Amino acid sequence: MFWKGKRVLVTGHTGFKGSWLALWLQQVGAEVCGYALDPPTNPNLFEAASVGRGMKSAIGDIRDLARLQQEVKAFRPEIVFHLAAQPLVRQSYEDPAGTFETNVTGTANVLEAVRGCESVRAVVVITSDKCYENKEWTWAYRENDRLGGYDPYSSSKACAELVVASYRSAFFSAQRYQQHGVALASARAGNVIGGGDWGQDRLVPDIMRAFTAGQVLKIRNPKAVRPWQHVMEPLRGYLLLAERLHREGARFAEAWNFGPEYSDTKTVEWIVEKLAKAWGPEARWEVDGAEHPHEARTLKLDWTKASEGLGWRPELRLEAALQLTSQWYRAFQDKEEMRALTCRQIEQYRALVGEGPSGESEQK
């Protein structure tokens, strides 16, 4: 019964991952408030699944500190999930200053708003697997590996991690937890997939746009290796982490990786082939031979810490994740009721991992 009645703020609730999280929180009985810009694409999951129907939705910019502070104080959340961000590598090349302003200053603004709100007990800041200094090695990155970033997006996420660490040391330290009462953690996930993502220059949305339009898909980096996972996998990790922060305080106030099974770290080409097969014979693709900005070739995440410290491990294998994703886009194309379908996928996943109706874990 942990989540029932909990007041939860989600920044970035109109985005892909934020919409999935907001629906999940509604499903387990939380009182949810979102703060974000208007949905970033058209179509979008927030509107397609009527996410705003079961929550309070405030449209605002995390770079607007005064407005953000006003909304946080008015809602008085117990738990904060910070997902609002500029999430695209290629866009960060086009607008590096805006990317840093949103992802770094925006994170500082959220933590400033938390600092001025006495009701907050737990904060989870979602950054990225790309926050690590990528050495193109074959083994997986751990939470204590060096931060960095070649492109502005990756660098901005490393900077956001430094902001989190600074606020944790200066204002929310474990030594003074009894005084401030706030447990602050960061979470780093792999490349998430799932229904309702229409982001530009993201693999699965690009695939689905091409396949649904009957066009030939053009792929930039077919040999690039990524830690693919369905969006529900890291979301379960975020929820579990927030619960532990709320219940046990500063003990869990650290950085955490939530990645897929290591054998599910696959090439872009592998993903395209699987989705093309699932879609049908009309799905076609080819390699785009044009020049493109630099992107990391190989990236893997080590989730041993989450397994040992939180009891979390990936449960949904990649082929099943791709099947769920393809089913979602097919249903959208067929004009099904997408809130019901999305909630049903969440319910099925929660049953798979052994969650009770209110989000509590059950023994399998």
Query: What's the angle, vertex CA 224, arms to CA 323 and CA 87, rounded to 5?
Result: 75
Contact residues for 175 (Cβ-Cβ < 8 A; gap 6+): none
pLDDT of residue 363: 39
Instruction: With H, G, I as helix, E, B as strand and everything else as coil, classify residue 212.
Output: helix
DSSP SS3 for 193: strand
Which single residue is written with the structure tokens 């020049």?
A: 291
Q: In angstroms, rounded to a whole number, what is the distance separating the alpha carbons of residues 143 and 254?
A: 9
The encoded tokens of residue 350 equal: 């929660």
Name 2's Cβ contacts closer than 8 Å, sequence gap at least 6. Answer: 243, 246, 247, 358, 359, 360
Beta strands 265-267 and 79-82: pairing type? Answer: unpaired
Q: Contact, 124 vs 90, CB < 8 A? A: no
Task: Please tell me the distance from the alpha carbon of residue 292 to that of residue 64, in angstroms, as a whole number.
Answer: 33
Instruction: Report how far residue 150's alpha carbon sits from residue 152's, in angstroms, rounded to the nearest whole number.
Output: 7
pLDDT score recorded for residue 227: 86
Q: pLDDT of 161-214, one tens digit each?
A: 999 999 999 999 999 999 999 999 999 998 899 999 998 888 889 998 898 888
Tell me, what amino acid is at 326?
S
Cα(210)–Cα(208) distance, integer angstroms? 5
Q: What domains are defined for the chain? A: 7-289+298-353 (3.40.50.720)
Cβ proximity of 48 and 332 under 8 Å: yes
Please name the amino acid found at residue 138. T
Half-sphere CA count of 356, side-chain side, radius 13 A: 10
pLDDT given at position 138:
73
Write out the chain's pLDDT in tens, 364 residues.
Answer: 899 999 999 999 999 999 999 999 999 999 999 999 999 999 999 999 999 999 999 999 999 999 999 999 999 999 999 999 999 888 999 999 999 999 999 999 999 999 999 999 999 999 999 999 988 777 889 999 999 988 999 999 999 999 999 999 999 999 999 999 999 999 999 889 999 999 888 888 999 889 888 899 988 888 888 889 999 999 999 999 999 999 999 999 999 999 999 888 889 999 999 888 888 888 899 887 666 565 556 778 999 999 999 999 999 999 999 999 999 999 999 999 999 999 999 999 999 999 855 556 543 3
Q: Do 221 and 295 meet the contact criterion of CB atoms below 8 Å apart?
A: yes
Strand locations in 12-121 (E): 31-36, 56-59, 79-82
- Please state, in angstroms and rounded to a whole number, the distance separating the CA atoms of residues 361 and 352: 11
- Please report the pLDDT score of residue 251 as a whole number: 94
- pLDDT by residue (tens digit) across 289-318? 666 565 556 778 999 999 999 999 999 999
Sign of CA dihedral 137, 142, 148, 150: positive
